[in-house]
Copies of this chain bind each other. A is one copy, B any other.
Amino acid sequence: MDKKIQNLKRLFNPQTIAVVGASNREGSVGNSVMKNLIGKVEGIVYPVNPKRKSILGIRTYSSISSIPDNIDLVVVATPAQTVPALVEECGKKKVGGMVIITAGFKEAGEEGKKLFEQVKELGKKHDVRIIGPNCLGILKPSMNLNASFANKMALPGKVAFISQSGALCTAVLDWSVQYNVGFSHFISMGSMADVGFECLLNYFENDSETEAVIMYMESLTNSRWFLQKAAEFSKKKPIIAVKVGKSSAGAKAALSHTGSLAGNDEVFNTAFEGAGIIRINESQEMYNIAQVLARQPFPKGKNLAIVTNAGGPGVIATDSLIENGGEIATLSKNTIKKLNEVLPPHWSHGNPVDVLGDADPGRYKKAVDLCLKDKNVDGALVILTPQSMTKPMEIAKSLIEIYNKHPEKPVYGVWMGEEDVELGRKSLEKGNIPVFKVPENGVRVFMAMYNYTRIKDKLNKEKTLSYKPNENKRKNKALITKILREKRNTLNEYEAKKFMLNYNIPVGEFEKANTSKQAANLSSKIGFPVVMKILSSDIMHKTEVGGVITDITDEKQAEKAYEKIITAAKKNAPKANIQGVLIEKQASKKYELLIGSKYDPLFGPTIVFGKGGVTVELEKDTAIELPPLNNKRARDLMEKTKIFQLLKGYRGMKGVSIKKLEKVLCNFSQLLCDFPELREVDINPFAVDEKGGVVLDAKIVIEKTDKKAPEHLALL
């Protein structure tokens, strides 16, 4: 086994633990850590403190090296300046890993950053695994390990919780104990000098105690490695992620349309979805889902049965289910018949199953049982309001019985109210039935859980994507090299269209002219009417400088148009380097599409597809995907837009060839895969009708890079 993995395993399963900075001082971190470990954890604890003979009555050691035993885990609570030397010492001692609680690194100015880099380097050098610095510590309830200064221990469970925020850890820990939610591991990651998200995913993938991961993420590094690991992980176990920092995105000006459409947060969503990560948008939902992950199976479908003793909350649940994309299970005739036999005549005779205000435990039990037996039902949400005859505790007990009879289908409770239902709620929790205070929370979690079923299925079915360069890569590479050598970073339209053409992205016939005579001849050759545009990599907005003339119908007009464009450009953009004019066949097509790309600093190239034209930013009918695409993924991308409905044919109006569009998108994706230099690409419009599509205008911005294809791709 790899030394690094082996050491991480030692870190999480320590038989011997040293606490550097162990202290007798009440309230100090070194004291809290000691108290959390001593008398609880299974292994041996060695306090390290050169100034004290003993801590909490235990003999201390003056240094790590002086401990007469191998050490699996070192917890550090001494000042930042002392830490690099400690890492070095631990390395020499062949320690498995360190949890560095100490703050004062990355977040504390230049000096701190320097210390951080030292810690990072030394850890790497010696294969010492490091969690932190600047973290709360780690907890592993199954072995009573609390190597943190948290004031309580987590309960044992099946979910690993990983958080970039120590402050949030304390809140979640506090909550989890109250609500009886357990964890396999509870990890505060701090500044991540060594162990990061991808590293933990790698570890938990093969950890038999862990069945799911919840992560609270503030920023992401190593995105490519992370996503690929996550995609692999998600095929087996779910990853739930709370990613904060949505509104900080966007806002910044961009050169192209695509730039303004592919906001940071949309790309995050796309990347996470591609990797099978269930992203959560509300903190409350994290709590709710943690409850469910710890206790219940995943629903196989999205058909929910709702059993309630009050109409209103049933309707609220229905609304929420529909809004979140779920479905009210259609109960079979047989189920309805049997419900008729056990329920009073006034019951709702359908789903939601209103068992009426005077429902006793027996009635609830029979109703839920019949619903769960129905093969049209994928799970049950059982709602209780505390009415005068209602017995929240007894109904909870009978619900647990029924769930134990059907452990393959999820059952959630919604016990509304407080004091009257509190014991009932506690009882459900203990019986492994997650319970909520309002119907919407239960419904949302049901749908999040179902979404994992769906995503897992999709990931496991999907063909592995692979990379092969295009046969014409050499030609475009030469073009890019030439342009970069000329110290340009935009292609003129002639170059951009050549670039497209080399990758079989259809462009109408076009030519470059440098004299009016040549312009006339080439126009005639192409066939009138033609359009003429100024060619200059310095002019982004051609219309504004008088650089576009349309409806040119003969040679004479063509000659004049050439002169007019050149004159206007020289006048309106005197500093621009003019490379001639571009002449192309005038096209009139039914739909204008946008096919674009923006290089995301974290995830590399993105693909944006949707409705194009001038109003693209107003209508925002676009969707994002990450390359590479295959036909299936190209089609999935298109299907996310409204204009797709028109493209495939709408209300008697003829559509266009979707197959051809898939091909165009795949070719476009190939361009992005082959050239890490592409920063922004904007084909707008890509005009299509029944006969096919054509690039009418294209902007390409490039930048020199050291990255080689396909290492710049996030998901491959």
Interface of A toward B, CB cutoff 8 Å:
27, 29, 32, 107-108, 149, 151, 164-168, 170-171, 173-175, 177-179, 216, 218, 244-248, 282-284, 287, 309-313, 315-316, 318-319, 321-323, 346, 357, 385-388, 416-421, 437-441, 614-615, 618-619, 642, 645-646, 650-651, 653
Q: How far is the CB of A270 from chain B (nearest CB, A)?
A: 18
Measured between alpha carbons, how far is A650 from B619 in the docked complex, in Å? 12
In the complex with contacts A283-B438, A346-B107, A318-B167 CB distance below 8 A: no
Instruction: Specify which chain B residues have a CB less than 8 angstroms from the CB of A309 in the assembled complex.
Output: 167
Measured between alpha carbons, how far is A149 from B389 in the docked complex, in Å? 11
- Determine which of B168, B316, B346 lies in contact with A244 in the assembled complex, contact meaning CB atoms within 8 Å: B316
In the complex with contacts A165-B310, A247-B319, A171-B218 CB distance below 8 A: no
- Asked whether, in the complex, the Cβ of A318 is within 8 Å of the Cβ of B177, the reply is no
Measured between alpha carbons, how far is A627 from B651 in the docked complex, in Å? 32
Q: How far is the CB of A338 from chain B (nearest CB, A)?
A: 23
Residue of B nearest to A247 (CB): B322
- Asked whether, in the complex, the Cβ of B168 is within 8 Å of the Cβ of A420, the reply is no
In the complex with contacts A166-B387, A247-B322, A419-B174, A615-B357 CB distance below 8 A: no
- Determine which of B107, B108, B174, B346 lies in contact with A420 in the assembled complex, contact meaning CB atoms within 8 Å: B174
Instruction: Specify which chain B residues have a CB less than 8 angstroms from the CB of A421 in the assembled complex.
Output: 174
Q: How far is the CB of A437 from chain B (nearest CB, A)?
A: 7
Measured between alpha carbons, how far is A323 from B386 in the docked complex, in Å? 35
Instruction: Specify which chain B residues have a CB less than 8 angstroms from the CB of A151 in the assembled complex.
Output: 388, 420
Measured between alpha carbons, how far is A37 from B177 in the docked complex, in Å? 41
Residue of B nearest to A357 (CB): B167
Measured between alpha carbons, how far is A318 from B29 in the docked complex, in Å? 31
Instruction: Specify which chain B residues have a CB less than 8 angstroms from the CB of A313 in the assembled complex.
Output: 165, 167-168, 283
Instruction: Specify which chain B residues have a CB less than 8 angstroms from the CB of A420 in the assembled complex.
Output: 151, 170, 174
Q: List 28 A-B pairs, Cβ < 8 Å.
A: A27-B388, A29-B388, A164-B312, A165-B311, A168-B312, A170-B385, A170-B388, A170-B417, A171-B385, A171-B416, A174-B386, A174-B419, A174-B420, A174-B421, A177-B418, A177-B419, A178-B419, A244-B315, A244-B319, A246-B323, A247-B323, A283-B438, A283-B440, A284-B440, A615-B650, A618-B646, A618-B650, A619-B619
Instruction: Specify which chain B residues have a CB less than 8 angstroms from the CB of A173 in the assembled complex.
Output: 417
The 6 closest A-B pairs by CB, nearest first: A167-B310, A174-B417, A178-B418, A171-B416, A247-B322, A165-B312
Residue of B nearest to A318 (CB): B247
Instruction: Specify which chain B residues have a CB less than 8 angstroms from the CB of A645 in the assembled complex.
Output: 618
- Asked whether, in the complex, the Cβ of A387 is within 8 Å of the Cβ of B170, the reply is yes
Q: How far is the CB of A640 from chain B (nearest CB, A)?
A: 14
Residue of B nearest to A172 (CB): B417
- Asked whether, in the complex, the Cβ of B165 is within 8 Å of the Cβ of A615, the reply is no
Instruction: Specify which chain B residues have a CB less than 8 angstroms from the CB of A175 in the assembled complex.
Output: 417-418
Residue of B nearest to A178 (CB): B418
Measured between alpha carbons, how far is A645 from B216 in the docked complex, in Å? 39
- Determine which of B32, B247, B283, B651 lies in contact with A614 in the assembled complex, contact meaning CB atoms within 8 Å: B651
Measured between alpha carbons, how far is A23 from B691 in the docked complex, in Å? 84
Instruction: Specify which chain B residues have a CB less than 8 angstroms from the CB of A385 in the assembled complex.
Output: 167-168, 170-171
- Determine which of B166, B283, B312 lies in contact with A357 in the assembled complex, contact meaning CB atoms within 8 Å: B166
- Asked whether, in the complex, the Cβ of A310 is within 8 Å of the Cβ of B168, the reply is yes
- Determine which of B284, B318, B416 lies in contact with A437 in the assembled complex, contact meaning CB atoms within 8 Å: B284
Q: How far is the CB of A432 from chain B (nearest CB, A)?
A: 20
Measured between alpha carbons, how far is A357 from B151 in the docked complex, in Å? 15
Instruction: Specify which chain B residues have a CB less than 8 angstroms from the CB of A174 in the assembled complex.
Output: 386, 417-421
Measured between alpha carbons, how far is A472 from B119 in the docked complex, in Å? 86
Q: How far is the CB of A440 from chain B (nearest CB, A)?
A: 5
Q: How far is the CB of A154 from chain B (nearest CB, A)?
A: 13
Measured between alpha carbons, how far is A388 from B244 in the docked complex, in Å? 23
Q: How far is the CB of A247 from chain B (nearest CB, A)?
A: 4
Q: How far is the CB of A88 from chain B (nearest CB, A)?
A: 28
- Asked whether, in the complex, the Cβ of B284 is within 8 Å of the Cβ of A441, the reply is yes
Q: How far is the CB of A656 from chain B (nearest CB, A)?
A: 15
Residue of B nearest to A179 (CB): B418
Q: How far is the CB of A539 from chain B (nearest CB, A)?
A: 16
Instruction: Specify which chain B residues have a CB less than 8 angstroms from the CB of A439 in the assembled complex.
Output: 283
- Determine which of B178, B179, B315, B642 lies in contact with A218 in the assembled complex, contact meaning CB atoms within 8 Å: B315
Measured between alpha carbons, how far is A107 from B345 in the docked complex, in Å? 12
Instruction: Specify which chain B residues have a CB less than 8 angstroms from the CB of A29 in the assembled complex.
Output: 388
Residue of B nearest to A165 (CB): B312
Measured between alpha carbons, how far is A311 from B167 in the docked complex, in Å? 8
Instruction: Specify which chain B residues have a CB less than 8 angstroms from the CB of A311 in the assembled complex.
Output: 165, 167, 218
Residue of B nearest to A620 (CB): B642
Instruction: Specify which chain B residues have a CB less than 8 angstroms from the CB of A248 in the assembled complex.
Output: 315, 318
Measured between alpha carbons, how far is A312 from B316 in the docked complex, in Å? 31
In the complex with contacts A614-B651, A642-B618, A312-B216 CB distance below 8 A: yes
Measured between alpha carbons, how far is A420 from B650 in the docked complex, in Å? 59
- Asked whether, in the complex, the Cβ of B614 is within 8 Å of the Cβ of A642, the reply is no
- Asked whether, in the complex, the Cβ of B319 is within 8 Å of the Cβ of A246, the reply is yes
Measured between alpha carbons, how far is A173 from B386 in the docked complex, in Å? 10
Instruction: Specify which chain B residues have a CB less than 8 angstroms from the CB of A170 in the assembled complex.
Output: 385-388, 417, 420
- Asked whether, in the complex, the Cβ of A312 is within 8 Å of the Cβ of B218, the reply is yes
Q: How far is the CB of A192 from chain B (nearest CB, A)?
A: 15
Residue of B nearest to A174 (CB): B417
Instruction: Specify which chain B residues have a CB less than 8 angstroms from the CB of A318 in the assembled complex.
Output: 247-248
Measured between alpha carbons, how far is A388 from B169 in the docked complex, in Å? 11
Instruction: Specify which chain B residues have a CB less than 8 angstroms from the CB of A310 in the assembled complex.
Output: 165, 167-168
Residue of B nearest to A386 (CB): B170
Interface centre among A173, A312, A417 (most CB of B within 10 A): A312
Instruction: Specify which chain B residues have a CB less than 8 angstroms from the CB of A357 in the assembled complex.
Output: 166-167
Instruction: Specify which chain B residues have a CB less than 8 angstroms from the CB of A653 in the assembled complex.
Output: 614
- Asked whether, in the complex, the Cβ of A315 is within 8 Å of the Cβ of B245, the reply is yes
Instruction: Specify which chain B residues have a CB less than 8 angstroms from the CB of A618 in the assembled complex.
Output: 642, 645-646, 650
Residue of B nearest to A108 (CB): B346
Instruction: Specify which chain B residues have a CB less than 8 angstroms from the CB of A346 in the assembled complex.
Output: 107-108
- Determine which of B282, B321, B322, B619 lies in contact with A642 in the assembled complex, contact meaning CB atoms within 8 Å: B619
Q: How far is the CB of A662 from chain B (nearest CB, A)?
A: 21
Q: How far is the CB of A294 from chain B (nearest CB, A)?
A: 16
Instruction: Specify which chain B residues have a CB less than 8 angstroms from the CB of A171 in the assembled complex.
Output: 385-386, 416-417
- Asked whether, in the complex, the Cβ of A282 is within 8 Å of the Cβ of B438, the reply is yes
Measured between alpha carbons, how far is A438 from B438 in the docked complex, in Å? 15
Measured between alpha carbons, how far is A165 from B314 in the docked complex, in Å? 12
Instruction: Specify which chain B residues have a CB less than 8 angstroms from the CB of A179 in the assembled complex.
Output: 418
